[in-house]
Structure 1
């Protein structure tokens, strides 16, 4: 039976995955009410887990180093209970080759080499080039699906990833190019990045030393 994470873990983990977030986005990601989120943030700030930043147009919450450590401590404890067979680690190893392909696809979406400029920005005027990238992003979603299903069978918090990815891909296919790689919308790349972050956080892996 899939393990359902504790509300406190989900809220702290939401800050980790979102990086810098307001209360509304955090509540939505954690599946919590506005009141629950506000109460948690007050307590987490007193504990030194999160910090509030308000500077110019920035107004939101982020993890402190202590909060990141606490999040990983909670994740490690949860994994011992929910995943005694180390299924998540096995899935992560299968995810890595797909991740390398996603990085290449995102680069191809952003850069369209020309004879006079190897690193020219992709202005999306070459329909054939964009179609090839979209085909690869779609193929990656198909190959990701069974891995997400296995993850969800271990931890319920991985539910919804494919729905988000497919929704972003549909918009990209309709010509809304930002839905492949932008970070200010729930793009394919953002969904993928957050899944990757969730995996390495859950497994206690340092992204900087990742093989």
Structure 2
């Protein structure tokens, strides 16, 4: 049985939630949709009070309103029941939860390297062994993510690509581009992982933490 394909209207609203703040082009790229069609849908959503466009310094884009968040969750809940994918998503979330704990510990270790003088000292990445231990943890998580991603995308097509994106970011880290571990506003390991977590909990109607 092929995976369930989400309607474009849901994908646009959900894409804004996952990206946090994004322009029409970024929302369109997230699910390979037509940019002009996405822009028109966002204007329609703005008229209904579901999204708003704003700018801060050099960042501008669409974000969800509280009404839009509630509407998105309503649509996700309907899709979950209509697609029959609830059991798959719940089981995958259960398998993801312990991995999430390990990932958060790894990111903390990437950003903080305690010293005898400061337990919260910033990691200056001068300790090769410390960083390699973190990267080995991330590599192990990438392997564990593959079957979870396959299960999810086999049920709901919109979940496709997470494990591939995570592995692609890790490959860039291995080539020496260390910012691809946790830098914001790029498809870093942290960005992909955070987005997947948000996708899972929003689909199931859960809250972080």
Offset at 1:56? 3.5
Offset at 1:142? 0.4
Alignment of 1:181 with 2:151, yes or no, is no
Partner of 2:18: 17
Offset at 1:30? 2.5
Partner of 1:88: 89
Partner of 1:156: 157
Separation (CA, whole Å) in 2 of partners of 1:97 and 1:200: 14
SS of alignment partner, residue 13 of structure 1: helix
Residues 110-133 of structure 1, C-alpha deviations (whole Å, 9 max, x = no match): 011111111111111111111110
SS of alignment partner, residue 181 of structure 1: coil
Unaligned runs of 5+ in 1: none
Separation (CA, whole Å) in 1 of partners of 2:4 and 2:10: 13
Residues 166-189 of structure 1, C-alpha deviations (whole Å, 9 max, x = no match): 110011112211101111211011
Q: After the TM superposition, list the runs of 4 or more consecutive aligned residues in structure 1 that deviate by more than 4 angstroms.
A: none
Partner of 2:113: 112
Partner of 2:80: 79
Aligned residues: 208
Q: TM-score, normalised by structure 2?
A: 0.96
Alignment of 1:40 with 2:36, yes or no, is no
Separation (CA, whole Å) in 2 of partners of 1:54 and 1:205: 29
Unaligned runs of 5+ in 2: none
SS of alignment partner, residue 123 of structure 1: coil
Partner of 1:97: 98
Separation (CA, whole Å) in 1 of partners of 2:118 and 2:8: 50
SS of alignment partner, residue 106 of structure 1: helix
Q: How does 1:135-174 map to 2 (within 5 A)?
A: 135-174=136-175
Partner of 2:194: 193
| Conserved 8 A contact 2:80-2:86 | no
User: Does the C-alpha gap of structure 1 residues 143 and 17 become closer, same or farther in structure 2, counting only changes over 3 Å?
Assistant: same
Separation (CA, whole Å) in 1 of partners of 2:56 and 2:128: 41
Offset at 1:58? 3.0
Separation (CA, whole Å) in 2 of partners of 1:97 and 1:23: 34
Q: TM-score, normalised by structure 1?
A: 0.95
